[in-house]
Every structure is written in C-alpha cells, then in structure tokens.
Amino acid sequence: MHTQLLGWILSLIACDGAGPVEDRNLAEGLTVFEARNGVLTVAFRRGSDIVFLEALRGNRAPAEVVAADPQAPAYEVDARAKDAEGMVFYSRKGGDEWVDPEWEADAERAWTQTPGAQGNRSSFELLAEASGALRDGLGDGAHQDVGPELEALISFGRRAVHIYDEELDRARGRQRDPSSAIVDDGSGRAIVDFGSKEGPEDGEVYFGEQGYYYIAVHEAGIDATLGIGRHSATAKYRWANNAWLFFHENCNHGRCATVMGRYCLLQYYEPIVDFHVPWTNQSCSTPYSLTSDGGGHNCHDDTRLQLNNFVYARYRPRTGFWCNGADDASDISHWTLGDESGAPDCNGRSAKGYHHPSMCLWNHNRSCPDSWRNDRECDCGCTFSDGTAADPDCA
C-alpha cells in the first residue's frame, strides 16, 4: 500500500517534472506520509526542490550476525530516495530479497535509463537535510515504531554528500592517473569527458548518456572474532550526463557497504559482455550460515555473486556455486575453519574472486583455438592444440 500511495502522490505533484512548487501542495520542510509498523515514507521540500524517502523493514538479521557483530543492524531494512521526477538516486537492500519486489524494477530503471542533463548533487544535499529533519521531526511513538527504518535513512543521509563528492573526486583521479584512466571502448559508449573541447566547460565533468559504471567491495572486521572474521558487501555506482549519480548498496545481512571501508573495485571496462553494464544484482537464496556450510551461505557468497553479475551480466542460480552451502575449498570465512580468510577480491581467480571453479562461461565439447586461452572467458569442453582441455581462465 505504501508504494502505491507514494506513486499516487508523485503522479499528482511531479508527473511533468516542472511547474511551480505552490502547485505541488507540499509544505516546506518535512512531510510524513506513513511512520508505523516498519514502514517509513516521507517527503522533504526546500524551495522548489523535493526528495521522497522510503524505508521498509524486512526479516530480522541472522542471530549469528547480531551476536558476532554488535554494529550490525537488527533488521534487514531496504531504503531508497527519489527526486521530484520519481527517479531513484539511492537504494539499499538489506537481505537476500527486496521487501517490496517493485523496488527492483525501479532500481533497474535508474541504472539503465538516461536521466536529466543536470547533475544531482543537490538531491544528495537535500537528502542530508531531510535526515536531520527526520531525527528531530518524528515523535517518540514513531521512533519506537520505525526505529530501524529511521536509522537506515539517517545513516545514509549523514554520509550522502560526502559519498557524492568523494566518488566524483575519485572519478577525476582515475582520469588523471594513466595506469587507471577512464577510456571509452572505441564505439563511443561510456565516454567520460573531463573538460575536453568537445565536452563541457573546463573544470566540469561530463559522463555520456550511457554512463560510467563500477562496483566496489567494502569490508570490515567482525568484533567477536577479533577482526579475523570479516563482513563484506557491495556498492554499485552509475554516473551519467553532467555528474548525475545513482548509487545502490547491498548489506548482505549485516552492515551495509558504505559504513565500512572500501576494499577494491571493478570499473565499467572490466565486464566481459558489454561496457554498458545491465542491471543484475542477485543474492543467494539458501539459508544464512556464518561459515557458508551446512546448506547455507554467508555475506561473502552474496558479494561474489554480485561481482559475478557485474562482470558477466548474467543471472546465476541462487542455490548454486558459492550459494550451495557445501564445505568447499573456495569458501571464505576464516582460516581456522580451513577456509579462505578476509573478503572477496575484485579479480577472476577462483580462490577469492568472482570466478567459481565449476562455473563455465561457455561449453563447447569440440576443438578450440589457443587464442581462447587467457581471454578472461572460461571455456569448458575444449580441446586445445596441445591436446589438453586446460583453460587458465577457469583456474
């Protein structure tokens, strides 16, 4: 009901993305539409600018996670922010499933559709203001009813502008660094232009209509393991046009990505299939298991599946590969259990990266050219010129 209510409100006040704010019937500052039973839906207006914020409570976080990590949230909360035109510019998924499945389609639209020409730093600024108003603008009863949802929105709101600025600075830095420069793929897609003669004025940054995409792994130590055990989650970024950002983070049953330190990232030219990365953002569907054994999966399995989604632009079986719950040599928990330690790596190695030892990108069952070795695609069923079937890309 909450999603339909907000959709109706958006259709009344922002369907054309224009018009005087007086016609939008929203008071200056905070407007609360719903704040009860794990549902928080609000709007915040400053002059002619408006943002809509939503948070939905999902399942309780796994008991093992809460017991081991006091900083983990007690519930798996989904949250998001929309601008006045109804475009999502921030989203968060707490667990394996979206609380409201419609949010997946809305996130995909933000990831793939061309947004307005202007940058949206002002939306992140307004989100930060809204989070402050939320802290002070809800009564004690609402705090009790929607405490976890309130914390989800406030937590990101405190960091929203910093994340926008930091990521934009990093993008500029990657352009200046010849070893990691942002380049297009020769087809004109995903062009990133930092003040060239054909682009904006000097000092501005322009991302093509298709956009510039990357995914980052964030991780932190788990208190009860004295830091030996780690929690990981992913954050996904899409820049478009004049620095318009859509940002999504996963929590993978515990702390959400950007409350932890960044460990590694993959840029948009890493994916195998296409520079314009489709929206694929899966989590395992097997039960939770801190050690990734006994038929369950842990946060690192979700992280590796999400990295694999990004690189190969494919949906994977949510009960297979890392999600299978078997005691595999490639499991990541900690070395005392005979598993890999740390967090997943942003590379294609099977030990800790986004490639699973039993995962084939292609199945051939025939002779294959040697050029298919070391091309970053795992070819199974090949017979190469030396008579073997070994493809280093499957290692």
Q: Percentage of the chain surpassing pLDDT 70?
A: 79
Output the pLDDT for position 185: 39
Q: Using 50, 70 and 90 to split pLDDT, how confident is the model at 164?
A: very high
Within a domain: residue 331?
no
- Show Cβ contacts of residue 191 under 8 Å, excluding neighbours closer than 6 positions: 184, 207, 208
Q: Are 222 and 371 within one domain?
A: no
**Structure confidence by residue, pLDDT tens digits, 269-313:** 665 555 557 899 999 999 999 888 889 999 999 999 999 998 888
Q: Are 253 and 389 within one domain?
A: no
Within a domain: residue 334?
no
Q: Using 50, 70 and 90 to split pLDDT, how confident is the model at 186?
A: very low
Output the pLDDT for position 340: 81
Q: Are 53 and 176 within one domain?
A: yes
Output the pLDDT for position 179: 47
Output the pLDDT for position 144: 79
Residue range of the domain that includes 144? 2-279
Which of 257, 279, 301 is where one domain is finished?
279
- Show Cβ contacts of residue 234 under 8 Å, excluding neighbours closer than 6 positions: 215, 216, 217, 218, 249, 250, 252, 257, 303, 306, 307
* Residue with the larger pLDDT of the pair 135 and 100: 100
Within a domain: residue 228?
yes
Q: Are 366 and 248 within one domain?
A: no
In this prediction, residues 7-28 reach a mean pLDDT of 49
CA distance from start to end of the chain: 48
Q: Are 378 and 241 within one domain?
A: no
Q: Are 26 and 118 within one domain?
A: yes
Within a domain: residue 312?
no
Within a domain: residue 269?
yes
Output the pLDDT for position 143: 74
For residues 200 and 193, is the Cβ–Cβ distance under 8 A?
yes
Which of 259, 279, 299 is where one domain is finished?
279
pLDDT at 17 > cutoff 50: no
Phi first, then psi, for residue 131 (nearest 5°) are: -65, -35
pLDDT at 12 > cutoff 50: no
Q: CA separation (Å) from 28 to 17, 35, 49, 124, 136?
A: 18, 19, 10, 17, 15
Q: Are 384 and 249 within one domain?
A: no
* Residue with the larger pLDDT of the pair 257 and 206: 257
Which of 279, 307, 342 is where one domain is finished?
279
Q: Are 74 and 186 within one domain?
A: yes
Within a domain: residue 294?
no
Within a domain: residue 259?
yes
**Structure confidence by residue, pLDDT tens digits, 24-70:** 589 999 999 999 999 999 999 999 999 999 999 999 999 999 999 99
**Structure confidence by residue, pLDDT tens digits, 335-394:** 666 578 789 999 888 889 988 877 776 677 789 998 888 876 777 778 888 988 878 777
Q: Are 266 and 371 within one domain?
A: no
Within a domain: residue 194?
yes
Q: Are 213 and 65 within one domain?
A: yes
Mean pLDDT, the chain, integer: 82
Number of domains in the chain: 2
For residues 359 and 379, is the Cβ–Cβ distance under 8 A?
no
In this prediction, residues 235-244 reach a mean pLDDT of 91
* Residue with the larger pLDDT of the pair 222 and 75: 75
pLDDT at 123 > cutoff 60: yes
Q: Letter for the amino acid at 262?
A: R
Long-range contacts of 358-365 (CB under 8 A, 24+ apart): 358/321, 359/308, 359/316, 359/321, 360/394, 361/272, 361/312, 361/393
pLDDT at 190 > cutoff 70: no
What b/e readout covers 271-302, taking b as 16+ CB neighbours within 10 angstroms?
A: beeebbbbbbbbbbebebbbbbbeebbbbbbb
